[in-house]
Amino acid sequence: MAIFKSIAAIAACGAAAANAAAFQPRQYKTLVSSPALIDTLHIDNLFKRAEKLQEIAYATPGKNRVIGSPGHEATVAYIQSQLDTNYYDVTLQGVQLSVGINATLTANNKAIQAYATTLAPAGNVTGPLAVIPNLGCEEADFTAALTGKVALIKRGTCSFGIKVQLAAAHGASAVIATNNAEGTLEGYSLQVFPDPAKPFVPTVGITLGQGESLLAQIGAGVNITVALTSVAKLATTYNVIAETKEGDHDNVIHVSGHSDSVTAGPGINDNGSGTCSLLEIATQLTKFAVKNAVRFSWWTAEEAGLLGAEYYVKQLSQAEKDKIRLLLDFDMMASPNFAYQIYDGDGSAFNLTGPVGSAEAEHEFAAYFDSIGLNHTEIEFDGRSDYGPFLEAGIAAGGIAGGAEGIKTQEEFEMFGGGAGVPYDVNYHEDGDTVNNLNLEAWIEFSKAIAHMTAKYALSWDSIPPKNATAARKRSEKYGHMKEAFQKTKRYQRWV
């Protein structure tokens, strides 16, 4: 599944530069501090990076940075090119995925526009259409034998991977996914890695309206035969990981964001803003010495189901997991109608508590915003972004965000300005998510907050309780139960 390559080893000119550096007198750097690192951040530098990402997206046929696309490959190369290999050990961790390219579908010889679903295999299938009752998340939804048939399943409640595995186990030769909201399922993913014991079958996605039309025909007693082709390509997509050469590698502060966008647009707030904030901080940090190692990661395939981060956490040994004292994750740093939202690590607002250390991280963010006189609010610590797999592994986590498709309340309007009753980001997952729609005021404040946290923990872990494997495991089990409860909420169902 994975291909590791260390970029330190590749270029001859890289080696020459390293030799030249060896002849220089050793540079003694000032120890990092929160005010000094914050001082290095300027909005025009962040904005230039956002423009670069947009340029990368617009130079490609799809005008996006979705995994498996030239736009995402160029994003990864850009991140890599910006990291100083005298200061960081940089690793590209490859994750292999089957990416959907295109599809054709006919029902009783009438063509329907369909999209190949990422992670599902390619194939050409013909067979009678069978409607799966409910949402196809439970064994009980699969009563009739599906041998030789194509299953029609609605989106919602559980990841599509679970539905497709169940359909395949009951003999279905392919699946048609119908959307549960407006829009196409272009770029949609099964959201879970294939399991050799529970294989997937070819899957294509259609709109809500197209699905309803098929259901109406079947309801009227018409037998439908469908023919579908689905084209996929095996793509290796990369997590970029950079860790300071200096510092205590047994007590790491891990700071992350994701590098991919959705299919609909260049993804500049979601989550190019996080990508750029981290890149700028990683660049500025090289001016300083650190006591604790700082690890930056840019995850791949977040939009396809947090796959890059999940893969990363899965392949870590327990000993390696124990070395991560805190994971901080950043997305949506420049939402036009922002609120300064902090993940509810102590469970005080949403009753979902993170592993030991998560509460302290939340309090530190709050103290930072208080210190500069900015209001802040809390958001559910629900695992909806790349910190999710870390929580499940019992690793303390935290983060901040400006908001996605949620609606700003009157109370938040009084705290942050902007517009009440309007989404935090009207362009969330749309083609309007461009450099023109960033809130620069929020972006620089968020970036400074990231710099504060990075510097604080690069200096000392005194304010975070020591790791306790027993306690971590207990928390992790508890998180598992909380997650089940969360998965029944409306918020989750709009996401899967």
Ligand X SMILES: *[C@@H]1O[C@H](CO)[C@@H](O)[C@H](O)[C@H]1NC(C)=O
| Between 109 and 223, CB nearer to ligand X | 223
Nearest-approach distance from CB 480 to ligand X, in angstroms: 10
| Between 21 and 111, CB nearer to ligand X | 111
Nearest-approach distance from CB 227 to ligand X, in angstroms: 11
The dihedral of CA 83, 86, 87, 92: what is its sign?
positive
The dihedral of CA 191, 435, 338, 272: what is its sign?
positive
Nearest-approach distance from CB 17 to ligand X, in angstroms: 35
Which pairing describes strands 203-206 and 115-116: parallel, antiparallel, or unpaired? antiparallel
Kindly state the tokens that stand for 473.
């495991």
Read off φ and ψ for residue 388, nearest 5 degrees: -50, -55
Q: What is the largest CA-CA distance in the chain?
A: 83
Nearest-approach distance from CB 258 to ligand X, in angstroms: 7
Kindly state the tokens that stand for 459.
């200096």
Token pair 């790349």 is found at 386
| Between 178 and 191, CB nearer to ligand X | 191
Which residue, judged by CB position, is nearest to ligand X in the bound state?
Answer: 331
| Between 72 and 244, CB nearer to ligand X | 72
Dist CA 155 CA 152 (whole Å) = 10
* Residue numbers at the binding site for ligand X (CB under 6 A): 101-102, 104, 122-124, 221, 223, 229, 231, 270-271, 302-303, 331-332, 351, 373-375, 384-385, 401, 404, 414-415, 468, 470-471, 481-482
Dist CA 114 CA 217 (whole Å) = 18
Nearest-approach distance from CB 205 to ligand X, in angstroms: 15
Distance of CA 338 to the CA centre of its chain: 19
Nearest-approach distance from CB 447 to ligand X, in angstroms: 15
| Between 93 and 385, CB nearer to ligand X | 385
| Between 101 and 289, CB nearer to ligand X | 101
CA atoms within 13 A on the CB side of 422: 14
Q: Peptide bond preceding 271: is omega within 30 degrees of 0, i.e. cis?
A: yes
Nearest-approach distance from CB 163 to ligand X, in angstroms: 19
| Between 87 and 381, CB nearer to ligand X | 381
Nearest-approach distance from CB 465 to ligand X, in angstroms: 9
Q: Which of 186, 302, 364, 380 is catalytic?
A: 302
| Between 8 and 440, CB nearer to ligand X | 440
| Between 25 and 61, CB nearer to ligand X | 61
Q: Is 139 a catalytic residue?
A: no
Nearest-approach distance from CB 485 to ligand X, in angstroms: 7
In 3D, which of 39, 59, 194, 60 has the Cα closest to residue 117?
194
Residues classed as catalytic: 302
